[in-house]
Amino acid sequence: MATQQLNFTKKTIESLPAAASGNRNQYQDTRTKALRLEVTDTGKKTYKVYRKMNGRPIRYTIGDVQDWSIENARIKAEEVSALISKGTNPNIEKQRIKAEITFGDMFKDYMERYSKKHKRSWEYDEREINKFLPHWFNRKLSSIGRDEVQRQHDKVATENGIYQANRLLERIRAIYNKAIEWGWQGSNPAQGIKKFKEKSRDRFLKPSELPYFFEALSEEENETACDYILMSLYTGARKSNVLSMRWIEIDFQQLEWRIPETKNGDSLTIALSKEADDILKRRQQKTNQKWVFPSEKTDGHLADPKKPWKRILTNATIKFWQAHEHIAPLVSEAIKQTNNIKYDHILYAAIESLAKKQKVELPTGLMDIRIHDLRRTLGSFQAAAGANQYVIGKSLGHKSQQATAVYARLDLDPVRESVQLASSAISNAGNGGRNG
């Protein structure tokens, strides 16, 4: 039977009848020419790709219409068509994957063929799998069962926390899903394993904590890390965007920073406050690289400054403890014991040791603050200054179906005013002194 032209929609596909006994009906999508739909005499409907390579027909099976949306089938058809255009037979590649493959080899394929090409967070995939699952690398995919994945999930939760465990489970599930999509004949052992219930964080720097935080920042020697932290605080931008900030993205005349692509996949224009502008102008005098926060070790941008961040939080927390009348003597005693060493991990450990001996309960201080909480801090100060949720969402690049229409109409001026009010309040709280 000749192939029929058809605009693939859910309605038209569902209405297609089964083929006559012993036959298979073929349909070609009018939007994506390489995409075909095969309907058998039992009514089974399967997406396929049909192209020619070196004059010979190539037929590739994508999958059942129940498992693939039309848009995803079109995307897959274009990917397969591109491979054929480059002279690669996708069926040979599929057969290679079908052969029993180790978890380590599948992970390499996942990184090169998918993660590095399509995920901004691919470095986390690479780091976390190498950290937690190297003992699986020489194992066949089919040898890793659901019980083993469950045990690994529980183990990481106990040793590294539920958030880390849930992210690892997501990565295992994604790797197996890609293996199945690429032709591996097996089941996903992560399927059906429930993630641990996560509490949404509501932590941010309080006005009373900012003086200690700013004082610790002023004493940190890594100036690039400090400027990065302050820029994160005054813009509310995500960590990855601030780290990769480039001078070409900054408009000093309009006081705007245009991020080409955010986590949501969209571009975002951030209104820069005077505080953020001051940091940028100071940094511009010191670096002629394309990055606002260049790395000292590579040609790239600054990596996650974990060590400076920990020093700053440790320092700020000790200052926070000193401000508490019943803890201040204990801090002074620890300083004497450590030969007047100032704020670092040695002093912190000495204070903890003394507190344990004297049965003094130490408050957490600022040790539970994460860099992402700086983003929430700006939003909280905006709210305190009277900004509504739409203005806050616009400035932070939040994306929701309910607010999208409002964001599209919202002018940047009220957003700029809100960000400036919040930045000034943060700066005043941080630099106004412990009693200011």
C-alpha torsion sign, points 168, 170, 173, 178: negative
Residues 6 or more apart whose CB falls under 8 angstroms from that of 223 comprise none
The pLDDT of residue 399: 64
CA atoms within 13 A on the CB side of 226: 16
Helix axes 412-431, 274-284, angle to 10 degrees: 80
What phi and psi values does residue 9 have, to the nearest 5 degrees? -135, 165
- How, if at all, do strands 56-64 and 45-53 pair? antiparallel
- Angstrom distance (rounded) from CA 284 to CA 173: 44
The whole-angstrom separation of Cα 228 and Cα 302 is 9
pLDDT of res. 405 = 41
- For 313, residues 6+ apart whose C-beta sits below 8 A from its C-beta are 216, 365, 366, 367, 369
- Dist CA 83 CA 90 (whole Å): 7
**Looking at the domain that runs over 99-181, which CATH code has it been given?**
1.10.150
Q: Nearest CA to 31 among 44, 16, 12?
A: 12
- C-alpha R_g of the chain: 28
8 A C-beta contact, residue 42 and residue 18:
yes
**Cα 71 to Cα 86: distance, rounded to the nearest angstrom:** 23
Nearest alpha-carbon partner for 200 in 77, 345, 373: 373
**Which two three-digit tokens encode residue 146?**
């659901």
Say which CATH architecture domain 4-97 belongs to.
2-Layer Sandwich (3.30)
Asked, colleague to colleague, whether 99-181 and 210-306+369-431 share their fold, the answer is no
pLDDT of 413 = 67
Distance CA 237, CA 212 (A): 23
pTM: 0.60
Amino acid at 311: R
pLDDT band at 403 (very low <50, low <70, confident <90, very high): very low
| Residue 44 vs residues 38, 66, 70, 77: alpha-carbon distances, Å | 8, 10, 16, 19
- Tokens 């790239």, located at residue: 300
Percent of the chain topping pLDDT 90: 54
pLDDT tens track for 174-208: 999 999 999 888 889 999 999 998 776 678 888 89
Range with the lowest mean pLDDT among 247-251, 262-266, 308-312, 315-319?
A: 262-266
Nearest alpha-carbon partner for 305 in 229, 201, 216, 381: 229
Measured distance CA(215)–CA(225) in Å, rounded: 15
Domain ranges (residues) in the chain: 4-97, 99-181, 210-306+369-431
Q: Is 91 exposed, middle or buried (0-12, 13-18, 19+ CB in 10 A)?
A: middle
Name 29's bridge partners.
Answer: 6
Sign of CA dihedral 148, 152, 154, 158: positive
Phi first, then psi: what are they for 179, rounded to 5°?
-60, -45
Q: 43-90 pLDDT, tens per residue?
A: 999 999 999 888 889 999 998 898 888 998 999 999 899 889 888 888
Distance CA 83, CA 76 (A): 11
User: Quick check: 390 and 403 in contact, CB under 8 A?
Assistant: yes
> Other CB atoms closer than 10 Å to residue 253's CB: what's the count?
6
What the block records as the tokens of 32 is: 């994506």
Q: pLDDT tens for residues 344-397?
A: 788 999 999 999 999 989 999 999 999 989 988 888 888 888 887 777 777 777
List all residues 6 or more positions away from 114 whose beta carbon is below 8 Å from its beta carbon.
Answer: 178
As a whole number of Å, the end-to-end CA separation of the chain is: 84
- Residue-level pLDDT at 383: 83
Are residues 145 and 103 in contact, defined by beta-carbon separation less than 8 angstroms? no
210-306+369-431 falls under which CATH superfamily? Intergrase catalytic core (1.10.443.10)
93-144 pLDDT tens trace: 777 666 778 999 999 999 999 999 888 778 889 999 999 999 999 998 988 9
Q: How confident is the model at residue 281 (pLDDT cuts 50, 70, 90)?
A: very high
With H, G, I as helix, E, B as strand and everything else as coil, classify residue 215: helix
pLDDT band at 406 (very low <50, low <70, confident <90, very high): very low
Maximum Cα–Cα distance across the chain: 92
pLDDT at site 138: 92
Please provide the average confidence, as pLDDT, over all residues in the chain. 87
